[in-house]
Amino acid sequence: MSASLYSKCQQSNILTDIINGCVEDIKYSDSVDAFKLSAMNAYDSICYNELAQDPKNIHYVNGVPVVSSSVSGCPNQCSLTGNCVSGVCHCHHGYTSGDCSVQIGVAPKIYRLRGDGFCDIRTRPCRQANVIVDNIMESDTLSCRITPMNVSNGEPVESGPAVNIKGEFLSFLEVQCPIPESNVMKGQSAKGFKISITSDGHLYSQEALFIVADGYCTKCSADGVCTDNPNTCVIDGMCYRNGDQNNEGQVCDPAVSTVNWTSIKTVQEIDQYTATYTGCRCPDNTNSFNCACCKNGGCQCGEIQPNQCTHCNCKKLCGSKPCLFPPLAP
């Protein structure tokens, strides 16, 4: 058994270098199969780069240099379940896809989700999940079945119907699945999604759980059990940090209650509609709490003046009090 380009480069020193590296890997892993394909792929990659520099292997198409297909290897050695002919895999009976890695009639198999299936909206938007999965191929029917789950109160429970969303084929071992928008982006503490993959629209993989959470308020295990962090509040399903205020001048005070707002006697009042310069979630960046907290039914000014609130129907007043609300630095 040899790499698909072995006959093209067998006079070079590539094989010796590859073997030396592979022997060291096998010493540590005590496994030949684990490195067989990677060694063969490495051989083809180095060999192809050498062949592509030889003018004899170059022809021109409309004036553009193109490497001859006769020196092209096959993807992933045709997974050792096919024959490589001029850079194209011809699969053995019962196998298909560009690298012959897909066994016909067998469902895909998910190995894991990148990030261990957990995403913190404080570090990234969490609008996609990368799934490490076997027995898949690029096709028009490649899709992700997404089932929403409630995970805030112990074990995950289905909270809505499953939807099928077009998946993006990244490689023969990875698919990227779009994740629907959830209220975690708007303050909910956590939301789960069960993900299943299909290449043909009929055979689906087993399900894997992907959790989107607000890391300030929630910690979740791989099996979807989420617990509230100390020094935070989860009020009406929304996450708040210690000291966050609502529009009524109440605050999150975990020492008093983690599930209800706490009334306080003294709140710094700036003007009729602005209770504090900062401490409330920003409308244009839900990961930031550096915007004004409003009172008396006021609304935040947003990007115009993030530390000011005004009458909700009169945003033209935003920035109109430079003494109280200094303009933002350019």
What mean pLDDT is reported for the chain? Answer: 80
CA–CA separation, 193 and 71 (whole Å): 45
Question: Which residues are CB-neighbours of 305 under 8 A, at least 6 positions away?
Answer: 318, 319, 325, 327, 328
- pLDDT tens-place string over residues 114-165: 988 888 887 888 889 999 998 998 899 999 999 998 876 557 788 889 999 9
Question: Which residues are CB-neighbours of 306 under 8 A, at least 6 positions away?
Answer: 282, 290, 291, 292, 300, 328
For residue 91, name the pLDDT band (cuts at 50, 70, 90).
Answer: very high
CA–CA separation, 131 and 177 (whole Å): 7
For residue 267, name the pLDDT band (cuts at 50, 70, 90).
Answer: very low
For residue 78, name the pLDDT band (cuts at 50, 70, 90).
Answer: confident
Element (H, E) at 310: strand 309-310
Percent of the chain with pLDDT over 90: 21
Rounded to an integer, the average pLDDT of 88-103 is 91
pTM, full prediction: 0.61
Lowest mean pLDDT among 22-31, 103-112, 190-199: 22-31
The predicted pLDDT at position 29 comes to: 46
If we measure between CA atoms, which residue out of 275, 115, 133 comes closest to residue 195? Answer: 133
Rounded to an integer, the average pLDDT of 32-50 is 73
For residue 206, name the pLDDT band (cuts at 50, 70, 90).
Answer: very high
239 touches 188 (CB < 8 A): yes
CA–CA separation, 186 and 240 (whole Å): 11
The predicted pLDDT at position 19 comes to: 64
AA identity, residue 280: C
- pLDDT tens-place string over residues 167-195: 999 988 899 999 988 776 565 667 889 99
Most confident of 40-44, 162-166, 254-258, 296-300: 162-166
DSSP 186-214: GTBSEEEEEEEEESSSS-BPPPEEEEEE-
CA–CA separation, 185 and 304 (whole Å): 22
As beta bridge partners, residue 109 has 134
Cβ burial, residue 60 (10 Å; 0-12/13-18/19+):
exposed
> Per the structure block, which two tokens stand in for 33?
């199969």
Element (H, E) at 158: strand 157-158
Tell me which DSSP letter residue 245 carries: B
As beta bridge partners, residue 112 has 132
If we measure between CA atoms, which residue out of 302, 309, 304 comes closest to residue 276? Answer: 309
The predicted pLDDT at position 186 comes to: 60
> Per the structure block, which two tokens stand in for 74?
């096959």
